[in-house]
Amino acid sequence: MTSDDLNLDAFLKALLSLPPAPGVSFRGWVHPADLGTVDVATKLLTAASVDIAVATAGFTTSELGIVVGRTGRDLGAFSAMPEAEEITYAPGRIFRGYPVETVDDLSVRVYEEWVIGDGGQPVSMGIDPSEVVAMVSATIPKARGKELAVPREYCKRFTSPLE
């Protein structure tokens, strides 16, 4: 095992020791619309932000992923950039990406975190993606007018593909 492996293992152990922060967070990237509904089992850490402006790097992306999750961890207390309001998901999370909608010139996709149930099958929270989009749509104009709370370079973690 390399020192990088040990560092990653230590980080994951520390991450998972934090309490879950269920709720809504955002990413500045979505799967292409022509894919319809997508299911993703992540292989990497997944970073999202509670701040739409941060997640979209100050709206320099034309995409908005709305993450409705259960197991993300709030890294604010440990982050060099607590203003990013980062929620991080461990590898191995399952997300259902619902079909893309267009809102305020953004391609918007809701990603719902599913967990493995007692029968070994993924279980939905039973959200209505249209209701989630409607709720978030009302906040986009205010977020567009907000000054970016962190350096734009820092936001790259939120605008990379979900994988």
pTM, two decimal places: 0.93
Convert the pLDDT of each residue in 63-101 to its tens digit.
999 999 999 999 888 888 999 999 999 999 999 999 999
CATH code given to domain 23-154: 3.90.176.10
| d(C-alpha 30, C-alpha 161), whole Å | 7
Q: What is the pLDDT of residue 5?
A: 55
What is the pLDDT averaged over residues 11-36?
93
What ranges do the domains of the chain cover? 23-154
CB-based contact 22:72 (threshold 8 Å): yes
